[in-house]
Amino acid sequence: MSRQFEWWREAVVYQIYPRSFADGNGDGIGDIPGIRRQIPYLKELGVDALWLSPHYVSPMLDAGYDVADYRNVDPIFGTLADFEGLIADTHQAGMRIMCDIVPNHTSWEHPWFIEALAHKVENDQSVPAKARYADGPWARYHLLRGQANGTLPPNNWISIFGGPAWDELTDDQGAGTGWWYLHIFDKSQPDLDWENQEVRAEFRGHLRFWFDRGIDGIRIDVGHGLAKAEGYPDCPPIKDGDPTHLNPYWDQDGVHEIWREWRAVADEYEPARIFVGEIWVGPAARSARYLRADELHTGFNFGYMTAPWQAKEIRNNITNCLRENDVMNAPATWVLENHDCWRAVTRYAPIIGQDETARTESGALDITKTVDWKSPRDLEIGAKRARAALLTMLALPGSSYIYNGQELGLDEVFDIPAEQRQDPAFHNTGGVSVGRDGCRVPLPWGTESASLDFNDNDKLWLPQPKHWKNLAASVQDSDEHSMLNLTRNALKLRHEQPALGGVVDHVPAIVWKRSGKSVLDFIRPARNGGRAIRCVMNTGTKPVRLRKNDGIVLASSSTAIVNGKLTPNASVWLWV
Ligand code: GLC
Ligand code: CA
């Protein structure tokens, strides 16, 4: 194994959702000049790298995950020159920067799809159901003949955002043509056909375009998608809780060949560029396959995020992930929040009056699960748990991601008028799914302007709740017990203490101590002359005794330890 420092094995990466982070020109939408202004804040926070959600030209029907031009910057975010400036500023500050690529689908405003739509198709009743139309520009997408003489979709696939995953092409008079194109997400996001060599070559070009500009790595959107099962079979009926359930458009073997091609492109560079895959694949042994030596460097372990507030389940997730990733010599990648899921504070908050150990709802993309977002929740408990889970995450071996605003302990916002909501998941389900706007509300930076210093006026693309005034970064900055300062302290220690850093061959990454339903307890052994650090988290309802002589390194809150005991919903780092 190369001894070269592989930063991505232990980096803490900060996810910036560009429209929500900071607004430089005062139009109410975050942008690149806004991000550049906050580089000192990010440096002080202590993260190693930034990842930006899509910054490309887009009609923004899925907040930029619908790309119309992969090689330019959307004007609402700025210019290509702004972006190059951001890369330079980030590097200047000693951090790395990653962008996001969306290969499963394009926008319907992408020139390829516009060209395909201009290509007239005939409503020919003699064509059998599911026949593929792959002439000319349609060869880049999935266009199939519908069932029942073309009047019904080709199969039973459902869009992640609600409704069928197929839309019928119409002729100039608006009549159906019997031909349907595939969109696993919104109808404005047609799926690309990855068996098509032109599609593959084009995306290798996109990678090089951004790598050539100095991007250090790329997050891959829907990394478990892209390949579709041969013959487009129906989805099997969902049996509740069946871990082997697999829809024929997820985690197909064909996808690995694509990642091998991409890895070869990343390896052409010096230093080699890296990938992190959005891999929503449950069984750890399956998701680890994306991390084989010639595929992706890292992939999100979403199980840590979706685990209920129970030490036993969290520990199972950690041990499974570490075991399977070890087989691939790949680091684990931890995450508690992103732009698709409820803020941790709200997710961990029990519904008032309900069983404390009830499974926390992820509020994620899965619209087939009805999530109760109307019952009031105990956000105080939620906040304690979010702090504890963050501290535990930052003690685990591997790389970690922090989503913008997570370091401020922001909660999910539900109070958004329907007409202001933007997520297609809300609109396509007629509001049954609350959607993801609630974790995308513009960040509170200070208390000077009406937008809490998101910009210098009152313009905001989504409204901020009143109580966020108390959570503003400037307010937390001067409170030593704030979540912001907890995050800063944890990240500082991570850099100073070798035990929390990269794994060395001869030292075990982690040693488990006490086990139980509601106590998580592990040691990161001493290495490189530093001291060992122990992390204990209490997910139960009773205080947990700690060893007398273990000194406290950092506790998740000022009330975490009382009379030498770790209180419920808290975690602590200890010197061993
Ligand atoms: C990923 C993104 C999500 C987006 C979807 C479609 O899951 O994280 O925000 O809506 O892909 O691109
Ligand atoms: Ca702006």
- Tens digit of pLDDT for each residue in 25-77? 999 999 999 999 999 999 999 999 999 999 999 999 999 999 999 999 999 99
Residue of 368, 350, 367 lying closest to 359 (CA atoms): 350
In a structure prediction context, what are the per-residue pLDDT tens digits for the chain, which is 576 residues long? 444 689 999 999 999 999 999 999 999 999 999 999 999 999 999 999 999 999 999 999 999 999 999 999 999 999 999 999 999 999 999 999 999 999 999 999 999 999 999 999 999 999 999 999 999 999 999 999 999 999 999 999 999 998 999 999 999 999 999 999 999 999 999 999 999 999 999 999 999 999 999 999 999 999 999 999 999 999 998 776 677 788 999 999 999 999 999 999 999 999 999 999 999 998 999 999 999 999 999 999 999 998 989 999 999 999 999 999 999 999 999 999 999 999 999 999 988 988 665 555 554 555 555 678 888 999 999 999 999 999 999 999 999 999 999 999 999 999 999 999 999 989 988 888 888 999 999 999 999 999 999 999 999 999 999 999 999 999 999 999 999 999 999 999 999 999 998 777 778 899 999 888 999 999 999 988 899 999 999 999 999 999 888 899 999 999 999 999 999 999 999 999
User: Which of 300-337 are b and which e, b meaning 16 or more Cβ less than 10 Å from the residue's Cβ?
Assistant: bbbbbbbbbbbbbbbbebbebbbebbeebebbbbbbbb
User: Which of 65, 102, 226, 433 for a ligand 1 pocket mutation test, highest count of atoms within 8 Å of Cβ?
Assistant: 65
For residue 19, which ligand has an atom nearest its CA?
2
Q: What ligand is nearest to the CA atom of residue 461? A: 2
Q: Please state, in angstroms and rounded to a whole number, the distance separating the CA atoms of residues 128 and 161.
A: 29
The edge-to-edge listing of strands for the beta sheet with 544-545 is: 544-545, 565-566, 561-562
pTM, two decimals, is 0.97
Considering only CA atoms, which residue is closest to atom 2 of ligand 1?
Answer: 221
pLDDT at 2: 44
Residue whose CA is at the smallest distance from ligand 1 atom 3: 340
Q: What is the pLDDT of residue 367?
A: 54
Instruction: Read off the amino acid at residue 303.
Output: G
- CA 23 to ligand 2 centroid distance, Å: 4
pLDDT value of position 516:
87
Nearest-atom number in ligand 1 for the CA of 436 is 9
Distance from the alpha carbon of residue 439 to the mean position of ligand 1, in angstroms: 14
- The per-residue pLDDT for 3 is 47
Report the pLDDT value the prediction gives residue 353, as an integer from 0 to 100.
Answer: 86
Q: Collect all residues with Cβ–Cβ distance below 8 Å to 326 and sequence separation of at least 6.
A: none
Tokens encoding 509: 């990454």
Q: Which residues pair with 538 in a beta bridge?
A: 519, 570
What is the pLDDT, as a whole number, of residue 1?
A: 41
Ligand 1 atom 7, closest CA: 222
What DSSP character marks residue 362?
A: -
Nearest atom in ligand 1 to 338's CA = 8
- Partners of 188 in the β-ladder: none
Domains in the chain, start-ordered, CATH in brackets? 7-106+197-491 (3.20.20.80), 111-182 (3.90.400), 508-575 (2.60.40.1180)
- Determine the length of the chain: 576
Atom of ligand 1 at shortest distance to CA of 105?
Answer: 12
Residue among 51, 56, 58, 62 whose CB has most ligand 1 atoms within 8 A, to mutate: 62
The ligand minimizing its distance to the Cα of 63 is 1
Q: In angstroms, rounded to a whole number, what is the distance separating the alpha carbons of residues 79 and 31?
A: 10
Mutate to test the pocket of ligand 1, among 161, 191, 222, 342 (most ligand atoms within 8 A of CB): 222
d(CA 300, CA 290): 11
Paired residues of 301 in beta bridges: 334
Please give the Cα distance from 560 to 544 (Å, whole number): 11
Q: How far does the centroid of ligand 2 lie from the alpha carbon of residue 262, in Å?
A: 33
Tokens read off for 482: 């704030």
- Bridge partners of 164, per DSSP, are 158
CA distance 316 to 224: 22
Residue type, 381: I
- Ligand at minimal distance from the CA of 440 is 1
**Atom 5 of ligand 1, residue of closest alpha carbon:** 65
- How far, in Å, from the CA of 41 to the mean position of ligand 1? 27
What 8-state DSSP symbol labels residue 133?
Answer: -
The binding-site residues of ligand 1, defined as CB within 6 angstroms of any ligand atom, are: 62, 65, 102, 185, 221-222, 278, 339-340, 365
* Residue 24 to residues 86, 474, 508, Cα–Cα distance (Å): 13, 18, 46
- Which single residue is written with the structure tokens 């800063």? 488
Instruction: Choose one of 19, 67, 161, 340 to mutate for the ligand 1 pocket test, by most ligand atoms within 8 angstroms of C-beta.
Output: 340
- How are strands ordered across the β-sheet holding 533-538? 511-512, 519-524, 533-538, 570-575, 552-555
Q: What are phi and psi of 377, to 5 degrees?
A: -120, 155
- Cβ atoms within 10 Å of 72's Cβ, excluding its own: 15
Ligand nearest to C-alpha 224: 1
* 413 and 444 Cβ atoms separated by less than 8 Å: no
Task: Give the pLDDT confidence of 492-550 residue by residue, as tens digits.
Answer: 999 999 999 877 777 889 999 988 899 999 999 998 889 999 999 999 999 999 988 88
What's the 185 CA to ligand 1 centre distance in angstroms? 8
| Best probe residue, ligand 1, of 15, 185, 306, 362 (max atoms within 8 Å of C-beta) | 185
Residue of 528, 576, 537, 529 lying closest to 555 (CA atoms): 537
3-state secondary structure of 2: coil
Tokens linked to 339:
């732009």
Output the pLDDT for position 360: 52
Rg of the Cα atoms in the chain:
24
